[in-house]
A and B are shown apart, each in its own frame.
Chain A
């Protein structure tokens, strides 16, 4: 009699299930001490559906094939001086922001998934997290290898991991990742796998990768292609974990909704750095932040939550505000970077006439009215030689740690958004209700925030003066300041000819 033919899912289950076991010498709760304290109830781990169904040998084969291709391209790029084909050297501010602000969070994700790969009670979930832990380490490594070529020829790329732990704008991604890392396993995976790697992933990936494609950065484009199949696995894991938690017990819904609200907001705030990169750092901008938000969140995200509504999950809180802010945040963040360009590890530059016309077209309701005036004023000052970087340090939000540049876009876009709450006799300040809600939900966590401006004032950042702080950051003088007149600019003109039209004013 012929054996019953099994489908792929059943075959995989038979191959891999039963690798775990119920311990008898120790209590299961002692072997897995982290997966119940958050209040998430799992009644049956066997209901877990493996998102990737990969065996180890299949995994290595696929990954090895991609590595062979990727490193061949990286070698070729280096041998052929691919860096000379960039649209402009000023584009590399995007890559400098990437290596210092994104690559270290790949490493943080690796650490987080490695932890989960040990601490989830279900063996299927453990395997998925172990594979993702390897993927994230791979991303960090391939990004370092890809971008290291630029480090041979340009400034500001030399100490990304040292800077991630110290620099004022890098505390934004650092605190984001540490928030998740210091949470329990279910919150971590909701934050990273669902909110970040499913709901919002395209808003990180597409701007950088299409930005690379449109600006002659073949190396970064190739890294992006080699990460795509990893990202599709990660998205599947994110969706699976949400469905699993919501199907396991009805008590999980309010917890998951609260995490969704929190981590949507934290990740959205982090993406303000990507918005400004997309609109201002790219010499050729294929798509505006607002356009990307409309496609990847309003349309795609809307459809996703429509689908998940059957579980009782609703759209994340303050999503309407995020959509209203899409007209504003890139301009607001670039303004603060231009004002403090003496203290950034990447070069800043004012938008050219051409870029400002593009911004007028992409932001018809806001750019000319609220933002063009200040850029034109600074242009005039730079022409007159009267431009100076801002002398003071900005107020930071206690939770997202971004300078408080965001405004009441739904009522008065010229009014900075101020929120305040009291805890333990002290006042804490926030950029938004979203950040304030996060604080008020777990104040003991956020009163521990290491805020760069406050730490400078406490004397913990190398000294009381800006030069001392920049040295402590390991910013070399040639890393900072305006693009025009920088070493990167001089080198670019040497390669391209001094009469090449200057791409950035």
Chain B
């Protein structure tokens, strides 16, 4: 339903991807680990490999939890906006 306004409404999308200096907004949450009160927000280059998201970006924040280092990434279940995300994890 459209906004109810008196005259023409200003068309402004404040968080268009172009506004993030070449980055893409990504939120990552770790279910059942509420030591981190909410999902974390990151501005990331879209070409960043997923491996780097895990090994560098996520590690930098989630490593504070003692369980993080013990994660077996090949068994992790990923969910994107409520839907299961199928990833094939190759350990090198």
CB within 8 Å of B: which A448-505 residues: 448-451, 453-454, 457-459
Number of interface residues of B (CB under 8 A): 39
A-B contact pairs, 10 of them (CB 8 A): A332-B37, A370-B34, A391-B60, A405-B38, A415-B31, A440-B1, A442-B3, A444-B2, A447-B13, A448-B10
Closest to A453 in B: B41
- The answer to the question of B6 belonging to the interface, with a C-beta cut-off of 8 Å to chain A, is yes
B3 A416 Cβ-Cβ under 8 A:
no
Distance A395 CA – B34 CA, assembled complex (angstroms): 14
Q: State which of A390, A415, A416 has its C-beta within 8 Å of the C-beta of B61.
A: A390
- Mark the stretch among A32-40, A43-51, A215-223 that contacts chain B: A32-40
Q: B residues engaging A (CB < 8 A)?
A: 1-6, 9-17, 19-21, 23, 25, 27, 29, 31-32, 34-43, 60-61, 64, 81-82
Contact status A459-B38, CB under 8 Å: no
A-B contact count (CB 8 A): 116
Q: A335 to chain B: closest CB distance in Å?
A: 5
Asked whether any CB of chain B lies closer than 8 Å to the CB of A394, the reply is yes
CB closest residue in chain A, given B3: A442
| Docked complex: A402-447 residues within 8 A CB-CB of B | 403-405, 407, 414-416, 418, 420, 424, 426-427, 429, 440-445, 447
Interface contact A454-B39, CB-CB below 8 Å: no
B6 engages A416 (CB within 8 Å): no
Q: What residues of A have a CB within 8 angstroms of the CB of B4 in the complex?
A: 37-39, 184, 442
Contact A447 B14 (CB under 8 A): yes
Cα–Cα, bound, A395→B29 (Å)? 9
- Given A184-B6, A454-B14; A441-B1 close (CB under 8 Å): yes
In this complex, how many residues of chain A approach chain B with their Cβ under 8 Å: the count is 50
Q: Are A444 and B39 in contact, with the CB atoms below 8 A?
A: no
Q: In the assembled complex, which residues on chain A have CB atoms less than 8 Å from the CB atom of B9?
A: 444
Interface SS of chain B = loop
Q: Bound state CA distance, A440 and B35, in angstroms?
A: 31
Task: Report the separation of the CA atoms of residues A416 and B40 in the bound assembly, to the nearest whole angstrom.
Answer: 12
- Judging by beta carbons under 8 Å apart, are A394 and B13 in contact? no
Grouping DSSP codes into helix (H, G, I), strand (E, B) and loop, the A interface class, with mixed when no group exceeds half, is mixed
Please report the C-alpha to C-alpha distance between residue A374 and residue B13 in the assembled complex, in whole angstroms: 38
How many Å from the CB of B47 to the closest CB on chain A? Answer: 17
Q: Chain B: which residue is nearest A441 at the CB level?
A: B1
Q: Any chain B CB within 8 A of the CB of A392?
A: yes
Bound form: Cα–Cα A393–B36 in Å:
10
On chain A, the residues within 8 Å of B40 by CB distance are: 392-395
Q: Mark A329-348, 1 if CB is under 8 A from B, else 0.
A: 00010011001000000000
